[in-house]
């Protein structure tokens, strides 16, 4: 079950990135379709957050169990891989999802400029917080199962 949820979490990353890029273009072009696209973006982001929180609290690779395994929070902060999974990934993604949620509220009232700014910041945070394959200690594959 855990592996399936991890794969779903990884696949939803692509849905979020695609919807985020579409939403950014719609906000830039002042397209009224932004209200609907931002809703799907927010739903995808919140589902991914729930899956990520489940993994954070149950996984051996991240969260509380890693803190115990590494020997406390001071050791987590000294270990780049442990620090990424215990602190950086969850913090950056949580901030990005909060920004996406605020952007959704702005998009509903067709406030294009604030929506665009919030979505761009969220995009940058997500790009920085994803464990891309080229990031040595924390790499994950482009697509699950590869």
**SS3 of 58-97:** HCCCCCHHHHHHHCCHHHHHHCHHHHHHHHHHHHHHHHHH
Token match 């991914």: residue?
A: 48
pLDDT digits (tens, 9 = 90+) for 41-98: 999 999 999 999 998 888 777 777 777 787 888 888 888 888 888 889 999 999 999 9
Mean of per-residue pLDDT scores for the chain: 89
Q: How far apart are CA 5 and CA 19, in angstroms?
A: 21
Q: Is the pTM of this model over 0.85?
A: yes
Judged against a pLDDT cut of 60, whether residue 34 lies above it is answered with yes
Alpha-carbon torsion, ordered 94, 6, 124, 63, to 10 deg? 40
Token match 């920085």: residue?
A: 128
74-80 long-range contacts (CB < 8 A, ≥24 apart) are 80/137, 80/138
| Cα atoms in the Cβ-side hemisphere of radius 13 Å centred on 113 | 0
Q: How far apart are CA 59 and CA 57, in angstroms?
A: 6
């Amino acid at each position: 079950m855990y592996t399936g949820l991890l794969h779903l979490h990884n696949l939803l990353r692509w849905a979020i990135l695609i919807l985020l890029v579409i939403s950014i273009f719609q906000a830039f072009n002042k397209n009224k379709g932004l209200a609907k696209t931002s809703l799907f973006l927010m739903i995808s982001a919140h589902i991914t957050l729930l899956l990520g929180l489940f993994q954070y609290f149950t996984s051996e690779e991240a969260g509380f169990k890693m803190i115990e395994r590494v020997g406390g929070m001071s050791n987590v902060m000294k270990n780049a891989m442990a620090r990424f999974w215990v602190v950086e990934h969850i913090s950056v993604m949580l901030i990005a999802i909060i920004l996406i949620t605020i952007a959704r509220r702005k998009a509903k009232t067709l406030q294009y400029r604030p929506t665009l700014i919030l979505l761009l910041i969220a995009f940058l945070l997500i790009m920085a917080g994803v464990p891309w394959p080229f990031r040595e200690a924390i790499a994950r594959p482009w697509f699950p199962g590869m």
